[in-house]
Amino acid sequence: FHAHATKTSTMTFIRWIMFNNQIISLLVACICLSRSVATAFLAPPSTPISTHTKSSSSLHASSTNEGFLQVSRPDGSEHKLSYRVVRPMNLSSQQAAPIIALHGGPSIPSNYLHPLEDVVPYRSIVFYDQLGCGKSDQPTDITQYSIGDSVQDLKMLLKKLGVRRFHLYGQSYGGILAFEYMKSVASDSTTNNEDDAKCLSAILSSAPSNVAQVEGEFVRLLDELKTTHSKDDGEELTDAELEALFQTNHQCRMPEMPPKLKEAYANAGTVWRGTDAIKDYVAAPPAEGASRMPSSMIMRGEHDFVSEECIEPWKSVFNTKFLRYKTMKGCSHHGLFEDGATYGELIDSFCAEYD
């Protein structure tokens, strides 16, 4: 009986293998056929709004979700902001909270920050163009722009996307916006319930605490370049030569400006742009009695025109127990391009501490 049962089991197992091999062969043939049909008849799809697509520039071919958010102003006017969510399936992750990325300028569109998705490879990252640049509306009425309005726009974006837990990242002016958002939340006693979005940590990258101070530093560095790079014949450097020197020494220390960065600067908004738009800004601490702000990291490049003196005052305005400073060696204002691997590791590891 045992021998017969063994023989029967063996034959049954062989038939099972043969049957599954046939099924597998059929599936492979179907997949190959479908790919051939797609290749022969389908044109490369354009990127639709609010659908998942593949990012060709990303080493990890991250899925994305794009759309528009409607925001309003006190005078009743309404505008649309463009956003882009990378790895939307991870937006609600409890192990690795998403990063909300705030671009600089004001009015330098967010596409220059997109390389973050390659150096922070697993988290969901939310990019959006603030009012006045990129794919967002660009009203010509200057009264539609302010840091306070931008803070409210950010709150509306978080609500629109249903983000409950997140890390905040701001580059240059984006760091100022990040601070003002955190201060607003800390000062608002009505935002301390469980239904509100919770900022777990924040990173301010190359963000000055005082605009007039960083403008003074800009002038100082230009004068220094004039002195150290004088021509042999005694003639002064032209404005174009001085600008190029400043760029390669203090803005982005690369032989040529990366295409994404160059494109962002070339397509910056024109209504509310640069330090002139926020020339009177000086960071101030939240009001007495405000709740604690999230733990934060202030980072800059070793050769950044946002000098150590420009970021030192952040210590006196953050009401958090944990404020970390980090300087990236050999980098300037755009460490994301100059040393992306190190830049991404700093951001991801800091966020991981507070997930």
Residue 92: pLDDT over 60: yes
- Tokens 């937006």 identify what position? 91
Hey, what are 307's tokens? 């000098």
pLDDT exceeds 50 at position 28: no
Say which residues have a Cβ less than 8 Å from residue 286's Cβ, sequence separation at least 6.
183, 186, 187, 293, 319
Nearest 5°: CA angle at 222, between 219 and 228?
A: 145
Q: How far apart are the first and last CA of the chain?
A: 61
- Lowest-confidence pick of 52-56, 90-94, 174-178, 188-192: 52-56
**pLDDT beyond 70 at 87:** yes
pLDDT of residue 321: 85
pLDDT tens track for 227-261: 888 776 667 888 899 999 999 999 999 999 999 99
Nearest to 131 by CA among 109, 99, 159: 109
Q: Is residue 184 predicted with pLDDT exceeding 60?
A: yes
Number of residues in the chain: 355
Q: Map tokens 């003196």 to a residue.
A: 309
Record the pTM. 0.82
Predicted confidence band of residue 194 (pLDDT cuts 50, 70, 90): low
Least confident among 41-55, 131-145, 215-229: 41-55
For residue 31, is pLDDT > 50?
Answer: no
Checking DSSP bridges between strand 125-128 and strand 99-102, what pairing results, if any?
parallel
More confidently predicted of 195 and 204: 204
Other C-beta atoms closer than 10 Å to the C-beta of 341 total 9
Residue 40 predicted with pLDDT over 50: no
What was the pLDDT predicted at 83? Answer: 98
CB 136 within 8 A of CB 302: no
pLDDT at residue 228, as a whole number: 87
pLDDT of amino acid 232: 67
68: pLDDT strictly greater than 90 = yes
What confidence tens digit (pLDDT) does each residue in 100-153 have? Answer: 999 999 999 999 999 999 999 899 999 999 999 999 999 999 999 999 999 999
Question: What would the 3-class secondary structure string for the chain be?
Answer: CHHHHHHHHHHHHHHHHHHHHHHHHHHHHHHHHHHHHHHHHCCCCCCCCCCEEECCCCCCCCEEEEEEEEEECCCCCEEEEEEEEECHHHCCCCCCCCEEEECCCCCCCHHHHCCHHHHCCCCCEEEECCCCCCCCCCCCCHHHCCHHHHHHHHHHHHHHHCCCEEEEEEECHHHHHHHHHHHHHHHCHHHCCCCCCEEEEEEEECCCCEHHHHHHHHHHHHHHHHHHCCCCCCCCCCHHHHHHHHHHHHHCCCCCCCHHHHHHHHCCCCCCCHHHHCCCCECCCCCCCCCCCCEEEEEEECCCCCCHHHHCCHHHHCCCCCEEEEEECCCCCCHHHHCHHHHHHHHHHHHHHCC
